[in-house]
Structure 1
Amino acid sequence: MKQSAFRKAVAGLLGIFILGCILAMTLVIIVDPFFHYHKPLKGFPYLIDNQLSQNPGMAEHMEYDSVILGSSMTVNFQTDWFKELMGLNTIKLSYSGAYPKDQSNIMKIIFDSGHEVKEVFLGIDVITYMGGVDETKYPIPEYLYDDNYLNDIEYVLNKDVILNYILRPMADPDPTNLSNVYASWWTEEYYNKEWVLHNYESPQPVEEEAPAEEYLPGTRENLDVNICPYIEQNPDTKFVVFFPPYSILFWNDVVVGNHLEATLAQYRYLAERLNAYDNVEVYFFPDREDIILDLNNYADYSHYHPRYNRFMTECFADGSTGLVAKEGSKKGKTIDEYLSHMKTIVQNYDFEELLSGE
Structure 2
Amino acid sequence: MKSNQENLLNQKKKKEQNPFKKAVFLTLSMALCALLLAGALVVYVDPFFYYHSPLKGFPYLVDNQLAQNPGMAAHMEYDSVILGSSMTVNFQATWFKELMDLNTIKLSYSGAFPKDQSNIMEIIFRKPSGAVSQGDGNKETKKVRSVFLGVDVITYTGGVDETKYPIPEYLYDDHNLNDIKYLLNKDVILNYILRPMADPEPTDLSNVYASWWTEEYYSQEWVLHNYTPPGKVAQETLPDAYLASVEKNLAANICPYIEGNPETEFVIFFPPYSILFWNDVLLENHLEATIEVYRYIANRLNEYENVKLYFFPDREEIICDLNNYADYSHYHPRYNRYMAECFASGECLVAKEGEKGTGIEEYLLHMQEIVESFDFEELLSRK
TM-score (normalizing by structure 2): 0.92
Aligned to 1:227: 254
Look up the match of 1:175: 202
Task: Report what 2:96 is aligned to.
Answer: 82
Residue 17 (str. 1) matches residue 24 (str. 2): no
Query: Is 1:149 the counterpart of 2:163 in the alignment?
Result: no
Separation in 1 of the partners of 2:29 and 2:359?
A: 70
- Whichever residue aligns with residue 337 of structure 1, its letter is E
Aligned to 2:313: 286
Q: Tell me what 1:322 maps to.
A: 348
Q: For residue 112 of structure 1, give the secondary structure of its aligned residue in structure 2.
A: coil
Q: 1:216 and 1:313 mapped to 2: Cα distance?
A: 29
Residues 196-234 of structure 1 show CA distances to partners (whole Å, capped at 9, x for unaligned) of: 011111001000000000110000000000000000010
* Alpha-carbon offset, residue 354 of structure 1: 1.0
The equivalent of 2:9 in structure 1 is: none
Question: Does the residue aligned with 2:268 lie in a helix, a strand or coil?
Answer: strand
| Residue 277 (structure 1) aligned with residue 291 (structure 2) | no
Aligned counterparts, 1:86-235, within 5 A: 86-113=100-127, 114-235=141-262
Shift of 1:323: 0.6
Measure, in 2, the Cα distance between the counterparts of 1:58 and 1:68: 12
- Find the counterpart in structure 2 of residue 345 from structure 1: 370
Map of 1:245 onto structure 2: 272
Q: Which among 67, 92, 112 is matched to residue 53 of structure 1? A: 67
Aligned match of 1:34: 48
Amino acid at match of 2:73: A
SS in structure 1 at match of 2:367? helix
RMSD of aligned alpha carbons: 1.0
> Counterpart of 2:365 in structure 1: which amino acid?
S
Distance in 2 between residues matched to 1:81 and 1:11, nearest whole Å = 58
Instruction: Report how far residue 115 of structure 1 moved.
Output: 1.6
- CA deviations 1:111-157 (Å, max 9, x no partner) are 01332000000000001001111000000000000000100000000
1:354 match: secondary structure: helix
Q: Tell me the distance in 2 between the aligned counterparts of 1:235 and 1:228.
A: 11
Question: C-alpha deviations, 1:276-315, integer Å up to 9, x for none?
Answer: 1000000000000110000000000000000000000000
Deviation, 1:352, is 1.1
- Output the CA distance in 2 between the equivalents of 1:318 and 1:257: 36
Q: Quote the Cα distance in structure 1 between the aligned partners of 2:382 and 2:92.
A: 35
Q: Deviations over 1:312-354 (max 9, x none)?
A: 00000001x11101011113x1111011011110111111111
What TM-score do you get using the length of structure 1 for normalisation? Answer: 0.98
Task: Check conservation: 1:64, 1:115, Cα contact below 8 A.
Answer: no
- Residue 357 of structure 1 and its aligned partner are, at CA, apart by 1.3
Whole-angstrom distance in 1 between the partners of 2:227 and 2:24: 60
Secondary structure, aligned partner of 1:287: coil
Q: CA deviation at 1:11?
A: 1.0
Paired with 1:347 and 1:326, the residues of 2 have a C-alpha distance of 27
Letter in 1 for 2:295: R
Corresponding position: 1:6 with 2:6: no
- Preserved contact between residue 100 and residue 128 of structure 1 (Cα < 8 Å): yes
Output the amino acid matched with 1:276: E
Where 2:18 maps in the other structure, the secondary structure is: helix
Offset at residue 22 of structure 1 (A): 0.4
Moved more, 292-301 or 107-116: 107-116
List per-residue Cα deviations over 1:25-61 (Å, max 9, x = no partner). 0000000000000111111111101000000000000
Which residue does the alignment assign to 2:328?
301
Which of residues 82, 89, 95 is equivalent to 1:68? 82
Alpha-carbon distance in 2 for matches of 1:112, 1:29: 21
Give 5+ residue unaligned stretches, structure 1.
none
Q: Which moved more, 1:106-115 or 1:201-210?
A: 106-115
For residues 295 and 256 of structure 1, what CA distance do their matches in structure 2 show? Answer: 19
Q: Could you tell which deviates more after superposition, 126-135 or 111-120?
A: 111-120
Q: Secondary structure at the match of 2:193?
A: helix
Deviation at 1:10, TM superposition (A): 1.1
- Alignment coverage as a number of residue pairs: 356
1:238 & 1:253 partners in 2: Cα distance?
34
